[in-house]
Amino acid sequence: MSTNKPVKPPGAAWMMCCTGLELQNDVTPGQSAEEMPSIDVPNKENKDKDMFILHVIIQSLWNLRCFRDEILRAPPATILHIKENFCIADLFYGIFFAWENNEHNGVDVLLTSLKVNLCKIANDNMFQKAGKRIASEVVATILQALHMSETPLHFDFNSEIEEREVSPVSCGDCICRTHDLFGIKFHVQMSCRCGKCFGEKEHTTIFCRLDASSPQTTKIESFAELLVLYDEQLCFGDNCKHCGSPKNVDVSPSNTPHIFTIGLYWFGDCENQVQLSEVLVGIAHPIDIKLLCKGVHSSAKYSLASMISYANGRYFCFARDQDKWLISDAETIEAEDSWEQLLERFRDCRLQPEVLFFEIIN
């Protein structure tokens, strides 16, 4: 449990503002934190499978302690929303506050409002894409929404806050909470063997995307190769306009983020995709960022903190909890004594990892 208590609970008026719905306040008196789990689960009679998926995704973010503590540190400030009132940060605060204080009434309403707002931001119902794994897309949309809702308050200006157009992808000078925790800056240098085409650029991201069905990915032997593949895909298809040959691309990160996030996208025929569970064996051990990213100049150790995976037709969240690993879906939370035992439990499943959160080891 977090030691940083939020300033004050969200009131009913605040809840109604964020969700547009009226909440019931049916708190059971005299129930201690020890008598209730820190995370509630959706009503089993709830037929909305979308809510089950979203619940697992939010659980994975909740398990990132630094992110959870930052959300709970104080209620969201008055935010200059972009285009529409997508109060994503406010909804996260309400959900995390409820889980932190074992006050579960109303969480389903907040999750429903979060789902509606995420679909508005994505301009479609991402949860209804048949045959497509969606966890990576949902997490990317969440981080983008948090960035865009907070960025106007956090540009380093010399005077007061002013309205500013915000990129949905990246902002080089952004110091919002999302970039502070998840942001990584890449310095990209491009050259060609003919010598007529060269250049450099800065690329900032909060979410590293990787096509899990690409020909490069199917050849990996170690999970440490994933970010090298990300470097290659960053400028894929960028050929020299003079000789037509692919440019030589050198990508080097200029910072070490607190949380390193990898999103795996699964496309095409599942039978032709790599069985990534085979290379998951060593992923729970500390990994040096020098192995994850070529060209990095400083050493930093990372460990897997949380992971969203798809298996047997449903989503699971795997999270490190001291010396154990928690396995949770939308209805249950169980524990295994080791990562190896967790993988053994899913040995006969086609385990498809979709989002991996690596946390820096201080």
Name the phi and psi angles at 343, rounded to 5. Answer: -65, -35
Write down all domains in the chain, each with its CATH number in brackets: 1-156 (no CATH), 183-362 (3.90.70.10)
Rounded average pLDDT over 101-128: 84
Q: Are 144 and 169 in contact (CB under 8 A)?
A: yes
Q: Are 194 and 242 in contact (CB under 8 A)?
A: yes
Read off the pLDDT of residues 272-313 as tens digits, 9 standing for 90 and up.
444 555 667 777 888 777 666 665 666 778 889 999 998 888
The torsion of the CA quartet 325, 329, 331, 333, rounded to 10 degrees, works out to 0
Instruction: Centre a 10 Å sphere on the Cβ of residue 222 and count the other Cβ atoms it contains.
Output: 12
Query: Among 123, 110, 112, 121, which residue's Cα sits nearest to residue 143?
Result: 121
Rounded average pLDDT over 56-78: 85
CA dist 116 and 212 (Å) reads 28
Read off the pLDDT of residues 177-204 as tens digits, 9 standing for 90 and up.
888 899 888 777 778 878 777 778 777 7
The torsion of the CA quartet 77, 80, 82, 83, rounded to 10 degrees, works out to 120
